[in-house]
Amino acid sequence: MSYGAVHFHFSLGSRTMNRLFLLLLLSVFGVPAYAGPQINVGTVYDYLDADKSTYLKRVFNSGDSTAFVKVNVLEIVYGTDGKPEEIPVVAAANGASRNGLMASPARLIVPAQGMQGTRLLYMGERDRERYFRVRFVPVVPEKEDEFAVSVDEREDYKKNLSAGVNVMTGFGTIFFVRPKDARFETAINETDSRYELRNNGNTVIVIDEFKNCSLSDETDCGATLKHHVMAGKTFGFDKDKGREYRFKLIEGEQKKDLKVVSR
């Protein structure tokens, strides 16, 4: 059991699930389906280092038609009860610069079998770590979407998509903005029955490729997991007899392979 680690979850809406199910039925019964755009954004977690202010995020389209993608940015803010709330990042009412993360451009036209990039630009103070959810949402372009396409091009695109079944699946990623004076300090506390890592620094650390396996049977292993441990939090687990725990401790660019054996 662990505590203090941060877990981020992504789920598909019921509409998307229904469309996925329909696509599966069509493929099983041999009915041709129009693939349409299929985007991929690479890694789910991205980190802006203390000495950087921009980050290039690439969006790939492995489908057979152009993808029109909106990029939405929301800040993840934790309340006093520890529960996260997602707040849209908008410009200040007085016209001042944003205090947070913005995507430029926020509208991407990604050709079939092609790639486009957006720059995630952070503006504001870096006295503490901040967290953002960046959503990449494929859409059918409308006039108000501000995509640089003509009316005829929009209508042709809609007709092509309506010719078959297409699954417009978006992706959500988590973006960590480290403070300007990022400091890593991980304390290990181990007893005969428990192992704990406490983050005494001021920026997130990662427990990656965490796996526990039987000492007597290499095939008897649990699922491989990733944990984010925020500043001031602790990740830990109970040590079961006859098990070996392996994982990578990632502190920024530094990686350490750790192993814990319980006999």
Tell me the mean pLDDT in the region 48-53: 95
pTM for the model stands at 0.80
CATH of 34-177, one of 3.40.1480.10, 1.10.3720.10, 2.60.40.10, 2.70.98.40: 2.60.40.10
Q: Do domains 34-177 and 186-262 have the same CATH topology?
A: yes
- What was the pLDDT predicted at 146? 65
Looking at residue 97, its pLDDT comes to: 55
What is the widest separation between alpha-carbon atoms in the chain?
70
pLDDT reported for residue 213? 96
CA distance 113 to 63: 6
Per-chain mean pLDDT for the chain: 84
What does the CA dihedral 97, 101, 104, 109 come to, rounded to 10 degrees?
-140
Q: At 82, is the pLDDT very low, low, confident or very high (cuts 50, 70, 90)?
A: confident
Mean pLDDT of 206-225: 94
- Name the residue type at position 123: M
Q: Which CATH architecture has domain 186-262?
A: Sandwich (2.60)
pLDDT band at 6 (very low <50, low <70, confident <90, very high): low
Distance CA 14, CA 218 (A): 39
Give 144-192 pLDDT, tens digit per residue.
Answer: 666 777 777 777 777 766 655 555 678 999 999 999 999 999 999 999 9
| Helix or strand run (H / E) with residue 193 | none
Question: Minimal CA–CA distance to 199: which of 210, 208, 189?
Answer: 189
Q: pLDDT tens, 123-141?
A: 988 999 999 999 999 888 7
Q: How many CB atoms lie within 10 A of CB 46?
A: 18
Of 28, 23, 4, nearest to 12 by C-alpha is 23
Q: What mean pLDDT comes out for the span 31-48?
A: 80
Whole-angstrom CA distances from 146 to 20, 139, 149, 236 are: 28, 12, 8, 48
Contact 241, 249 (CB under 8 A): no
**Domain residue extents for the chain:** 34-177, 186-262
**Residue 8 pLDDT greater than 70, yes or no:** no
203 burial level (CB within 10 Å; 0-12, 13-18, 19+): buried
